[in-house]
Amino acid sequence: MALALVPEAVAFAFVAGVSPLVGLYGAFMMGIVTSLFGGRPGMISGATGAMAVVMVSLVAEGKVLGGSEGAGLSYLLATLLLAGGLQVGAGLLRLGKFVRMIPSSVMMGFVNGLAIVIFLSQLGMFKKGDVWLSGVSLWTMLGLTLITMLIMVGLPKLTTKVPAALTAIVVVSLIVIFGGVETETVSSFVQARGGNGIEGGLPTFALPMVALSWETLGFIFPYAVILAAIGLIESLMTLNLVDELTDTRGHANRECIAQGAGNILNGFFGGMGGCAMIGQSIINIKSGGRGRLSGIVAAVTLLGFILFGASVIGQVPIAALVGVMFMVVIGTFAWSTFRILHRFPLADVLVMAMVTTLTVVFDLAIAVLAGVVASALVFAWQNAVRIRARKYVDDAGVKHYEIFGPLFFGSTTLFMSKFDVQGDPKEVIIDFGESRIADQSAIEAINRLTEKYDQAGKNVHLRHLSADCIRLIKRAGDVCEVNVLEDPGYFVAVNNYRDVLRKAVGDNMRDLSDESVARLAHAGTRVGKNRS
């Protein structure tokens, strides 16, 4: 895992416009904090491309605003402190549970889109500078990548006692070192992109050198919100994916706090921050690393590379690491999508395709938010057209409307069209036994309906409202008054409460409990002197 983290951290550091060591420090600190305190053992966090693409404009604008080359990094570190604070706040407020609201179609689109993004990011490794490899260099790179992939496919069939990814990297590295094969290594990769290597000391504490002013806050706050959102969305969706792979359940709120703490630590110790890494997490899980120790070892080993092993790690061929990531792509992409695509509802297929496309073209946060909104609109429309009413008149001449389906903002118009106010008899009962009142729009619809019946000189009674619907109506005001006379198992709401009560029990009331008397008195009904 540590070997797989090196090129990713270096590459994303270059994307963000900071030095390779900043990326490596960020991967180490995110990895160690989330492994120790996170809510999903076995999940790997580090510097990620999803956050790096936002950081690049932050760093560039920070250099202009601060007037120096190092100002961009200072503003980045200050932004990480604020972003981390927002993530910790999200965890403390238990907002992590909202990840459960992400539909399966969005999740599948996210996974497929991320697999494509990982694949495209690895294609950049087939360049030297800005020029694509060709001839012998290209074939050598492809050959070593293929050898890595074949080892990772074949070794688990022989034994699972050693990690296939690590074995593949070691074997390909030995081929390159002792076979005299000319190919790009980690050292040449860093140097070709303007870096001075990956060797350094321990991260040191330092406050970000930015002015404490409203102007600074106004500049970094939007970036902090975006980085916090991207980090949490990617981390929590990776958590969900790892849960499915391991058939266990992580703690989303705890992971939010750990992610935030990791970014805060990066802000104080000069790392570029990050979030959970889906590719590396899958490598770790499929290699057997399902506990906290795997993430801790990966982070500490990465720090060891920085402190002591830079020269050794520098000899690892990029092709080996690319081969590992290509296997991640194959394992990440939901190939079953093509097999079961024709069985999905068309709306889900469109949402899946949209999320995949937006993940590749823009970023994860935009893709997931757009997918959730689209899925919610589809759900609202489908439920809006499902509301219906069964009508009949009983022996006493009372008209009954039995409502089926939820009453909410999308279904109020269709709900209102079900009633014949002018043609109905004097007494009308609306039965919500198979329905529920969901929001303020539903209450307003009921209010308008009862007013229409009142104006026509008719009484309308609401039956079988659930307890949560009654609470919603009570909070909304005097749309309906509530009693419990008809059915002890249900609350009954009527728009003409006192008249109905008087007709039902006359002037004297017998055998009322103290609680019932208190409720009636609270509602304004004078029962004290008439109670038998």
Cβ atoms of 171 and 3 closer than 8 Å: no
State residue 348's pLDDT score: 85
Domain boundaries, the chain: 2-127+185-363, 385-495
Three-class DSSP labels, 460-518: EEEEEECHHHHHHHHHHCCCCEEECCCCCCCEEEECCHHHHHHHHHCCCECCCCHHHHH
**0.75 surpassed by pTM:** no
DSSP 317: B
Mean pLDDT by groups of 10 residues along the chain of 532 residues:
79 77 92 94 87 83 80 91 95 82 81 82 80 89 94 86 82 91 83 71 88 89 90 87 86 94 95 88 85 93 88 84 83 78 82 89 80 88 83 88 87 89 88 82 84 86 75 58 38 45 53 61 50 43
Query: Do residues 88 and 256 make contact, with C-beta atoms less than 8 angstroms apart?
Result: yes
Is residue 55 within 8 A of residue 275, CB to CB? The reply is no
pLDDT of residue 111: 80
Instruction: Tell me how far apart the alpha carbons of residues 415 and 419 are, in angstroms, rounded to a whole number.
Output: 8
The answer to whether 265 and 271 have CB atoms below 8 angstroms apart is yes
pLDDT value, residue 259:
95
CA-CA distances (angstroms) from residue 202 to 73, 318, 351?
A: 18, 25, 46
Instruction: Domain 385-495: give its CATH superfamily.
Output: STAS domain (3.30.750.24)
Q: Please name which of 44, 17, 79 lies closest in space to residue 302, comparing C-alpha atoms.
A: 44
User: Residue 401 belongs to what H/E stretch?
Assistant: strand 399-404
pLDDT at res. 517: 64
Q: What does the pLDDT read at residue 508?
A: 54
